[in-house]
Structure 1
Amino acid sequence: MARINPHINFNGNAEEAFTFYKSVFGGKFAKIIRFKDLASAEFKVAEKEENKIMHIALTIGKTDMLMGNDVPEIFGKTNENENRSKIVITAESKEEADNLFNGLSVGGEIEGPIGDSPWGSYFGCFRDKYGIEWMVDFDPKNNG
């Protein structure tokens, strides 16, 4: 069965926020990826954004995870008083990821088609027909 975890967008202060959350919840960082970690000829990263957080995950309890990232400036500023969070579904298989992505996105707007990501998982994101933002992820390294 898929797991669901929250994901929060930040305007450049994700690391500060997650350090704070860790001080409150405890736990440990399961993953920290900076934009510079993914930089390549195909994925250019502005120098001022190299050290910003592309993905951070804090384990909370035995199975829960709080995730987040800094939104690159080219995408504009995240409205901190509106919907700046996403629901992340961690699937147990590619098939489950496809089924959830295809089912939940009907009538919505695909932001990133599901497929292999530069960070090694099978990933896609969309806003459903009710305006809720979702990310679907399958990582064979964590589910194999």
Structure 2
Amino acid sequence: MKVNMYLNFDGNAEEAFNFYKSVFGGEFSFMMRFSDAPEGDKIPKEEQNRLMHISLPLGGDSVLMASDIMPSSGHTLERGNMNYISLHTESREEADRLFNGLSKGGSVEMPMEDQFWGDYFGCFVDKFGIHWMVNHNDQF
């Protein structure tokens, strides 16, 4: 089984993913706008440029994916803390790089520090309202 993370945005998925790409590197493996869908010209003009789907490979089998909601279809976005993206890094340096890059412009909940359970860990909400955890364990 493979598990991928899927996020929803309200018109700023492309901006968010360009930011994530600047931190993680790599290239988008897929990007489609609502205007590219069959009968995309019937979608309200203000929603045609929104992303129907975008994928950013993060390495290994991990892929970060997202789409924008369509308000004209009754979709609403509710920000919450029910989901975190948990990153497990191979080094403390990689943990610091990802934490510092992704948290820029956001709100740090816990800075990167050695924790009582033995891991190097921190968490934050990025500038797009997405909750992240960064974790490194020297034994794995």
TM-score by length of 2: 0.53
Closer, same or farther in 2 for the Cα pair 1:84/1:47, shift >3 Å?
farther
| Secondary structure of residue in 2 paired with 1:29 | coil
Q: Flag structure 2 segments of 5+ consecutive residues without an equivalent.
A: 85-140
Structure scoring higher RCO (CA < 8 A, sep ≥ 6) equals 1
Alignment of 1:41-80 (within 5 A): 44-74=42-72, 75-80=74-79
CA distance in 2, matches of 1:70, 1:84: 17
Counterparts of 1:20 and 1:52 in 2: how far apart (Å)?
Answer: 16
- CA deviation vs aligned residue, 1:103-122 (integer Å, no higher than 9, x gap): xxxxxxxxxxxxxxxxxxxx
Larger Rg: 2
Deviations 1:32-71 (A, max 9, x none): 0100000418x94111111100000001113210000000
- Describe the shift of the 1:84–1:44 C-alpha distance in structure 2 as closer, same or farther (beyond 3 A): farther
Which residue number corresponds to residue 97 of structure 2? none
- Equivalent residue runs for 1:1-144 within 5 Å: 2-40=1-39, 44-74=42-72, 75-83=74-82
In angstroms, what is the RMSD of aligned CA positions?
2.2
Distance 1:24 1:12 in 2: 21
Offset at 1:28? 1.0
Q: Return the alpha-carbon distance in structure 2 between the equivalents of residues 27 and 78 of structure 1.
A: 28
Deviation at 1:83, TM superposition (A): 4.7
SS of the counterpart of 1:3?
coil
Q: Between 58-67 and 72-81, report the one with greater CA deviation.
A: 72-81
Aligned residue type for 2:34: F
Gaps of at least 5 residues in structure 1 are 86-144
TM-score with structure 1 setting the length: 0.52
Cα displacement string for residues 83-128 of structure 1 (whole angstroms, at most 9, x for unaligned residues):
579xxxxxxxxxxxxxxxxxxxxxxxxxxxxxxxxxxxxxxxxxxx
